[in-house]
């Protein structure tokens, strides 16, 4: 019996899931200012309201971990920033490319320069050492709302920190309720000049495709980009809310035999996952839309209460990871298996540690980075400045799925 009990204990120990490592944590975020007086003046003028600065998106390049702070409310000092990976866990955010390029009034009427950053939700770092920034151009979103400029894609060379290009969306790319809060880039090291960016429109229920080579964009429409009416209710951190967010999360597979990737996607207010070939997205302006309608595929349903935020596909494990906002954790699905509730696994969950996982990325070393930020409480109530509100974790993607149905 003792031998049997020992054997069982060994099995249980070997099946315990790895837990993410807490890398950064803040009660409130602050920035590297040029002088203390500059910070004090910004607070006095209302241009910096510490409580209104909520981290949301992230991405790693070498020793930099980029962290976005969208202008949900007034007083966001810098929307695009980074921290040093080997720095302290509560270090100041460093504005990128500079504080001057981020620190503009919410009431501004135009861009001071072409590299000025207004408000960013998520970013993408490509294999060509470029940072792709989806700038909404909208300040004080939750308040007065000031559309300073049209939404734009801003591309930086990470080796030199220089602006490479800025592309403003065309009027036909947008609808009345358009909102662009994510971006993924389809490119490899051998095709740097022929990159394609895919940008979901969660408010207008479409996807905008941008070709760097053509310097042009077009809008893709489909029923699958809409939200599910029965999946729009949430309860997170004790806050009940209702969202009608459509297509939101996009994730790209490795290239298939024909050279194109599969794009996995889902609406925020939905429990279903869909996919489509990037061949269709790239050539959408030249194809029969009626015929192409059936090339969008339903993969399956995760089950009730499984609304997901951002997602990321790991080509090394062929696993799709996604934030589980209603379940305070991160889920996964192995793309070699049927898309069923049983094959969608909640790999770690804790309402105290992972309240509202808002973004996740996997870097070149196979590390998954996860940002959680209590967004519902930030929007609908208030956050306690005396407790940790924002956390960033990391974990090996392989370790995260070990012993689960995603392995």
pLDDT of residue 273: 98
pLDDT over threshold 70, residue 15: no
3 state DSSP class of 190: coil
Q: Is the pLDDT of residue 235 over 80?
A: yes
Residue 202 has pLDDT above 80, yes or no: yes
Q: Give the chain's mean pLDDT.
A: 95
* Neighbour count for residue 161 (Cβ, 10 Å): 12
User: CA angle, 135 as apex, 28 and 360 as ends, to 5°?
Assistant: 60
Is the overall model pTM greater than 0.85, yes or no? yes
Residue 141 to residue 79: CA distance in whole angstroms: 13
Q: State the fold for domain 21-401.
A: Neuraminidase (2.120.10)
Complete DSSP assignment for 63-103: TEEEEE---SSS----SEEEEETTS-TTPPBEESS-STTT-
Model confidence pLDDT, tens digit, residues 161-185: 999 999 999 999 999 999 999 999 9
- pLDDT tens-digit map of 28-84: 999 999 999 999 999 999 999 999 999 999 999 999 999 999 999 999 999 999 999
Give per-residue pLDDT as tens, 303-361: 999 999 999 999 999 999 999 999 999 999 999 999 999 999 999 999 999 999 999 99
| Burial of 99 from C-beta contacts in 10 A (0-12 / 13-18 / 19+) | middle
Residues 6 or more apart whose CB falls under 8 angstroms from that of 201 comprise: 174, 175, 178, 179, 180, 207, 208, 219, 225, 246, 247
Spatial CA neighbour of 322 closest among 311, 336, 335, 338? 311
355 vs 239: CA distance, rounded Å: 11
């Amino acid at each position: 019996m003792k031998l049997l009990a020992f054997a069982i204990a060994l099995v249980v120990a070997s099946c315990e899931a790895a837990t993410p490592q807490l890398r950064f944590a803040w009660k409130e975020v602050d920035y590297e200012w040029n002088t203390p007086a500059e910070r004090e003046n910004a607070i006095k003028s209302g241009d910096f309201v510490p409580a209104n600065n909520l981290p949301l998106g992230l991405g790693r390049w070498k020793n930099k971990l980029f962290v976005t702070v969208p202008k949900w409310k007034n007083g966001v000092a810098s929307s695009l920033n980074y921290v040093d990976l080997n720095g302290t866990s509560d270090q100041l955010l460093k504005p990128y490319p500079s504080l001057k390029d981020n620190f503009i009034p919410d009431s501004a009427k135009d861009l001071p320069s072409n590299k000025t950053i207004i408000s960013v939700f998520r970013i993408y770092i490509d294999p060509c050492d470029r940072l792709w920034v989806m700038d909404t151009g909208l300040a004080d979103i939750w308040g007065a709302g000031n559309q300073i400029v049209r939404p734009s894609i801003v591309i930086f060379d990470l080796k030199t920190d220089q602006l490479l290009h800025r592309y403003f969306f065309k009027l036909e790319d947008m609808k009345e309720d358009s909102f662009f809060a994510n971006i993924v880039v389809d490119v490899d090291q051998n095709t740097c000049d022929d990159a394609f960016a895919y940008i979901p429109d969660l408010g207008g229920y479409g996807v905008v495709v941008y070709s760097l080579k053509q310097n042009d964009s077009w809008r893709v429409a489909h029923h699958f980009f809409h939200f599910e009416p029965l999946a729009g209710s949430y309860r997170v951190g004790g806050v009940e809310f209702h969202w009608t967010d459509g297509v939101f999360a996009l994730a790209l597979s490795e290239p298939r035999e024909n050279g194109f990737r599969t794009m996995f996607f889902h609406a925020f207010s939905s429990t279903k996952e869909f996919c489509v070939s990037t061949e269709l997205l790239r050539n959408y302006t030249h194809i029969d839309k009626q015929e192409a309608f059936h090339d969008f595929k339903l993969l399956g349903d995760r089950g009730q209460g499984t609304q997901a935020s951002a997602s990321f596909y790991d080509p090394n494990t062929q696993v799709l990871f996604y934030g589980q906002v209603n379940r305070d954790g991160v889920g996964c699905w192995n793309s070699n298996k049927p898309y069923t509730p049983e094959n969608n696994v909640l790999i770690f969950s804790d309402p105290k540690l992972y309240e509202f996982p808002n973004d996740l990325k996997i870097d070149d070393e196979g590390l998954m980075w996860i940002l959680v930020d209590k967004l519902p409480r930030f929007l609908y109530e208030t956050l306690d400045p005396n407790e940790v509100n924002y956390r960033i974790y990391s974990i090996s993607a392989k370790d995260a799925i070990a012993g689960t149905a995603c392995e």
